[in-house]
Amino acid sequence: MIPNDDGRDRRTLRSQKWSTARCDVTTQERRIRDERRTLFSSRKWKEAEAHFLISLPLILARIKHGREKWISRLWRRLRIQWNTSNTTRMAQAMMVVMTRPNTSILYSLVSFENSTVYDGLVQDRPGTARMTEHSAATSDTNPIELKYRGMKAAGGAAAWYFIPVVGGAAVPRRQLETLENVEIGSHPNSWNNVGRKHRPKLRDNKPHRLKAAQSRTTRVVRFETYTLQDGQMTLETDSDLLVQAKQFLLHSSRAYIRTGTARKYRRSETTATVLLSPDSHTGTLQSAMKWASRRRDEWVIFTVDKRHTRRLRRTSHYDAMVAIAVSVCRELDDVCATMSVYDLYALHWTSRRLCSPGIHIRNTAVIERELWSRGFLVRPTGSMVLKLPPSAQVSKLEARIAFRQTMIHSNLADTLVAPLMYALRIVEQSERQLGRALDTTKLWINSGKESCTCHLYPSSFPMRHGHIFIPSWEYTGPFKQTMTALMSSTVRSQYSPDAFKLAQYSCWKRNLPLGLLGEIWIYDRPDYPPEIVQHPLSSFRVRQLKTYLEDLVVMGIDKCRNRKLVLCPLLFRQKYRSTFPVQDDQVHFERITLSVEDYAAWLKKEYDRRKWYQIATWHNGSPPIPYNLWKLKDIITPCEKVMASKGKCCRQRPISPNTHHWCRRVFRRVGSVLRLICLSLPRSSVNFIRSQDLLQYIKEWNGSVDPEEVTRVILHVGDIANCYDELNHNDCLDGVAWALSNMPQWQQTTARPRRTIDRYSVDRFSRRDITAGPDLTSDRTRIELNTNQILSVCEFDIRNSILCIDGVLWKRLLGAPMGGFLSAFYAMLNFAYVEHKCVMPMFTKMGIPGGVKRYMDDIIVALLCRNPDEVAAATAFVHELNKPSVYPPPLCLNMEPQGNQEFLEANVTVSDNQLALSLNNKVVVDALYRLPPYRQRLSTKVSRAANRRVMQGILTRIIQSTSSDELIVTGILALRYEAQYYQMQDSLIRQVVSQAQVQARERQERDVEKALNKASQAMAK
């Protein structure tokens, strides 16, 4: 026998016969794959199953002869599991488990072209059924799931073989899942792990952090280890001391040495002898350990015949870096000035590893300054971001490769390429949406022009108030197809050969010295297909339309994301003025005399004075420039009608986006605290902030009383008018302060009880990760905010909300801006405080089953009355709610009359003295009344995948907000009607519903699954 450790590759000693067989099976496998491809492309699934079962012995032979590491590993597993290495016999066993209906299988999807595998399980049905599901999903023209997309790219369905790894009689599901997880865990490179969020980034593996030791595959059986001295056994548990002994005794399950010790002593000449057995092994300590670890349940004596100790030494470069990082103090600037860029980066990492945090921060500052002075703007711990536009048409990997080539071909030192690649991060920019591309509101607001341009366009264009006014669904001018398309569809970007070059150039310019840039490396793609000019969504067409409409304003419509409004600039300007009447309205606005730059400087001073840098960094921003959205209701109803009912027509929604505010990061961080507070409001409170919770509340109200007892249901909805514009600043702050002081009580039910909560800690990167109380993590990475800071930020924000109109700053004296980071929370907490004081006591005193709930400014009151007295009390309660003493003016609660109601997106109805909830499909209502398609969400012009996503979203909302099976069925039938109305194929809705069924089954939501089954039966009729 050839010893294992002679360094020779055993595979080179295979016989000639073996290599012939290997060549043979490889050719055979290719033939099988071709046959499979033909079967799949003609969608003959049954025949493909039979074909697979027949060719199984050959496929197994290919695995057996596979040279690739992962394939030989797979073969080893198969050999052990099926207890044979004869491919025919193994195939027979597999065939049995794959065709029988009551078996459980753990399987791998394997391709010989790709080392990634997919592990899965089948339970209580034949494996062939699951196999066909996989093949069908991969053969789909546009697979939904990431893994199928990957598999399609890596050879397609034909290349992926379904190999049962473990199989037998039905195994309990939980046991099977545990096994599956073990399988998946043993393949880090697996489709099951593809697309997982929060994958550890390369950068996070800090060089100085040791990884957790990998667990051994064999279970440790005996923990005791002994040293032997003159036949005397002494217990010695310190493995370092143990290995230093001349002779020691180990159980075979413990035969391994720690890496550090192994590096030192592994070359020592050692004899290993099995206790009470003649077996022995002579070699190095390392090989002896390996030999011993392969034995089962035996004690092994190790005798170190001659000890070789290796001294570990760092390179002189490392020592030099350590010396500089640790000992140079004041002259670090001078030392750094003489070092190379590579050494500077190395010095940073050495300092990070060895120095105390304080010294490291000081070192970093010096190193970064030195790097900046040489034009290297990328920080040692930072990243170089390469933004890939869609028109570049390269993948992330291709971009990495290309940028590496660019660096190699540049004048950068070769040693720098590897560390810089480590910092490179590729970000794919999203495709542009049609609505974004067409909207010109911002341009018109900033241009200040306001002349009428109606004469430049055909007089046949629809008008309102004497000027052009066209909702995009009514547009009939040139490029009609582009304008009437859904604004959420993406513009088909053209391949531009320069886009990738430009992206690399700008990345380099932002991070590295421009003078060192050589030739930029790009891919040659001469035969790239030219742009489809004819398509209404091609970027060419969109540009043409924009040019045609350049003298008109294209603006957004409120609550109607899929459409735009085209109108005359003069009309637009009038509406803009009346939406933000800063000049005339001294009650709401006050002029700020400072210029924008001076205001920013003043704000920075305030920021420093209030020490907000402890909360978040300063953003080099700009003032919010407000814009308006036309209200949909006022477009679809003629002006006269709106005038008659509301007293004014063509109403607008004001938005002042704070997205670029200088303190945006501060506000957002405080916002996450306020969000936590709103989420911790007790369940009994009126406020709720997740709209999908409504169903739960309705179910609770129904369940709180016996339906036989109920005689009448009082149901009202209403909304609080002036919710944002008229909020009183002091009331808002009172609300915030009240909520902060009540947090300890509200938190008690969930977390550890506390007497006071004086601070909150937020994760630096994830706004949703927030806890009440101090930062308890070991490395102190979270940001703490105390209640005083929160209150002071809120107060500053609400008293200093500004808007910039025509370059002049105005301060808002009343109300919170729509579009501010904290505005929604002010409104919520303001109302919550009012309700806590008035509404809840009233409601509790009344004692009628049912409830009062508010989502933002919408209120629902549902009372299940059991006798005439309660009806009277309930009516009085609703009457009382409407009084200004509850929601004080200028707030104003408008209640709809009693009866079935629309609330949020849903219909709330009363049937058999119980409340019922169902999703309100307004699109279907519009279609039935033959109204214009302004709410259209599905379109044949966009991709099937996009339509599917929209339908999936609607289906999810149907399930979330519908209270009974029958209503879910009705909702899905309505969705099908919508799909048919917009000429979708019927197969699409079936696919969406069956996917939802699979998901419900996986999540074990039996009710949902049952309802969906009913729906698909109803659709089949």
Nearest distance, CB of residue 798 and Zn ion, angstroms: 33
Which of these ranges, 447-455, 599-607, 702-710, 910-918, lies near Zn ion under the rule CB under 5 A? 447-455
453 vs 722 by CB, closer to Zn ion: 453
Q: Is 726 exposed, middle or buried (0-12, 13-18, 19+ CB in 10 A)?
A: middle
Cβ neighbors of 413 (< 8 A, separation 6 or more) are: 340, 341, 342
367 vs 552 by CB, closer to Zn ion: 552
Nearest distance, CB of residue 890 and Zn ion, angstroms: 24
**What residues from 753 to 792 belong to the interface with Zn ion (CB under 5 A)?**
none
Residue 877 backbone dihedrals phi, psi, to 5 degrees: -65, -45
21 vs 452 by CB, closer to Zn ion: 452
DSSP labels, 77-145: HHHHHHT---HHHHHHHHHHHHH-TTEEEEEEEEETTEEEEEEEEEESS-HHHHHHHHHHHHHSSS-SS
Nearest distance, CB of residue 1003 and Zn ion, angstroms: 49
Which of these ranges, 216-224, 425-433, 444-452, 817-825, lies near Zn ion under the rule CB under 5 A? 444-452
Please give the structure tokens belonging to residue 351. 């300092």
Give bridge partners of residue 915 from the DSSP assignment: 910
DSSP labels, 541-595: HHHHHHHHTTTSEEEEEET-TT-EEEE-HHHHHHHHHHHS-TTT-TTTEEE--S-
431 vs 558 by CB, closer to Zn ion: 558
Among 456, 639, 931, 998, binds Zn ion (CB under 5 A): 639
Which of these ranges, 26-34, 445-453, 705-713, 823-831, lies near Zn ion under the rule CB under 5 A? 445-453
Nearest distance, CB of residue 722 and Zn ion, angstroms: 21
634 vs 857 by CB, closer to Zn ion: 634
Q: Is 454 among the residues that bind Zn ion (CB under 5 A)?
A: yes
Q: Provide the b/e sequence for 201-231 (b: ≥16 CB within 10 Å).
A: eeeeeeeeeeeeeeeeeeeeeeeebbbbeee
State the DSSP code for 254. G
108 vs 652 by CB, closer to Zn ion: 652
Q: Is 842 among the residues that bind Zn ion (CB under 5 A)?
A: no
Sheet holding 858-865, edge to edge: 850-855, 858-865, 712-721, 892-895
632 vs 881 by CB, closer to Zn ion: 632
503 vs 566 by CB, closer to Zn ion: 566
Other C-beta atoms lying within 10 Å of the C-beta of residue 968? 23
Give bridge partners of residue 628 from the DSSP assignment: 654
Q: Which of 775, 612, 777, 743 is nearest to 675 (CA)?
A: 743
450 vs 531 by CB, closer to Zn ion: 450
Nearest distance, CB of residue 651 and Zn ion, angstroms: 9
Q: Is 650 among the residues that bind Zn ion (CB under 5 A)?
A: yes
Sheet holding 808-812, edge to edge: 589-591, 808-812, 802-805
Nearest distance, CB of residue 923 and Zn ion, angstroms: 26
Nearest distance, CB of residue 458 and Zn ion, angstroms: 13
179 vs 452 by CB, closer to Zn ion: 452
Other C-beta atoms lying within 10 Å of the C-beta of residue 100? 16
355 vs 649 by CB, closer to Zn ion: 649
Nearest distance, CB of residue 153 and Zn ion, angstroms: 53
| The Cα angle at residue 508 between residues 506 and 509, in degrees rounded to 5 | 60
629 vs 906 by CB, closer to Zn ion: 629
| H-run or E-run covering 387 | strand 384-388
Which of these ranges, 266-274, 631-639, 949-957, 1003-1011, lies near Zn ion under the rule CB under 5 A? 631-639
Q: Is 470 among the residues that bind Zn ion (CB under 5 A)?
A: no
Q: Is 467 among the residues that bind Zn ion (CB under 5 A)?
A: yes
**What residues from 4 to 63 belong to the interface with Zn ion (CB under 5 A)?**
none
171 vs 568 by CB, closer to Zn ion: 568
Helix, coil or strand: residue 476: coil
Which of these ranges, 650-658, 792-800, 809-817, 934-942, lies near Zn ion under the rule CB under 5 A? 650-658
Nearest distance, CB of residue 578 and Zn ion, angstroms: 11
Q: For residues 245 and 147, give the distance between their C-alpha atoms in angstroms, rounded to a whole number.
A: 53
Asked if 226 and 236 count as a contact pair (C-beta separation under 8 A), the reply is yes
Nearest distance, CB of residue 771 and Zn ion, angstroms: 51
Nearest distance, CB of residue 430 and Zn ion, angstroms: 35
**What residues from 901 to 960 belong to the interface with Zn ion (CB under 5 A)?**
none
Q: Is 463 among the residues that bind Zn ion (CB under 5 A)?
A: no
Handedness of CA 940, 944, 946, 951 (dihedral sign): positive
Q: Is 452 among the residues that bind Zn ion (CB under 5 A)?
A: yes
Q: Which of 501, 496, 497, 499 is nearest to 403 (CA)?
A: 501
Cβ neighbors of 748 (< 8 A, separation 6 or more) are: 754
State which amino acid sits at residue 953.
G
Q: For residues 783 and 546, give the distance between their C-alpha atoms in angstroms, rounded to a whole number.
A: 46
650 vs 906 by CB, closer to Zn ion: 650
Please give the structure tokens belonging to residue 669. 């961080």
565 vs 839 by CB, closer to Zn ion: 565
State which amino acid sits at residue 317.
H
Nearest distance, CB of residue 575 and Zn ion, angstroms: 9
- Cα dihedral value 590, 592, 596, 601, nearest 10: -120
Nearest distance, CB of residue 498 and Zn ion, angstroms: 40
Q: Is 575 among the residues that bind Zn ion (CB under 5 A)?
A: no
Cβ neighbors of 90 (< 8 A, separation 6 or more) are: 57, 60, 78, 82, 84
Q: For residues 283 and 5, give the distance between their C-alpha atoms in angstroms, rounded to a whole number.
A: 9
Nearest distance, CB of residue 628 and Zn ion, angstroms: 14
Chain centroid to Cα 308, Å, comes to 53
Nearest distance, CB of residue 933 and Zn ion, angstroms: 22
Q: Is 568 among the residues that bind Zn ion (CB under 5 A)?
A: yes
130 vs 467 by CB, closer to Zn ion: 467
Nearest distance, CB of residue 460 and Zn ion, angstroms: 15
Q: Is 459 exposed, middle or buried (0-12, 13-18, 19+ CB in 10 A)?
A: exposed
278 vs 448 by CB, closer to Zn ion: 448
634 vs 926 by CB, closer to Zn ion: 634
Residue identified by tokens 């289906």 is: 955
Please give the structure tokens belonging to residue 898. 């009693």
Nearest distance, CB of residue 568 and Zn ion, angstroms: 3
Q: Is 847 exposed, middle or buried (0-12, 13-18, 19+ CB in 10 A)?
A: exposed
Q: Residues in contact with Zn ion, total (CB under 5 A)?
A: 8
Nearest distance, CB of residue 408 and Zn ion, angstroms: 59
Catalog residues that contact Zn ion under the rule CB under 5 A. 452, 454, 467, 568, 570, 639, 649-650
